[in-house]
Amino acid sequence: MKKEIIQKLQTSFEDVAQVQNGVEFWFARDLQVLLGNEEWRNFTKVIEKAQEACENAGLAAEDQFVEVNKLITHGKGGKGHKKAPQFTL
């Protein structure tokens, strides 16, 4: 991978990072977009594989992938709101 692409991705990841109580994390839906996955249902398969890799490495996946809900807009004109499944990583 070219150095410029890596630098751009690194900056993008840093831009979407969140900090709460001194802990840095990312929302999976933000990473989904950065990684070029258009549909959440397809990206959840990536998350499941990553959770499995954590378990195989002896790490507790539930400590690395915390399931939360995120309020998202939907519907015509984006006027509706609903809770959508989400992970913090």
* Model pLDDT, residue 49: 94
**What's the length of the chain?**
89
> Residue 18: pLDDT band by 50, 70, 90 thresholds?
very high
Q: Is pLDDT above 70 for 1? A: no
Domain ranges of the chain: 3-88
Give, in degrees to the nearest 5, the angle at Cα 48 between 78 and 39.
30
How does pLDDT run across 23-78, given as a tens digit for each residue?
Answer: 999 999 888 988 888 888 899 999 999 999 999 999 999 888 988 887 777 767 66
Higher pLDDT pick, 25 / 83:
25
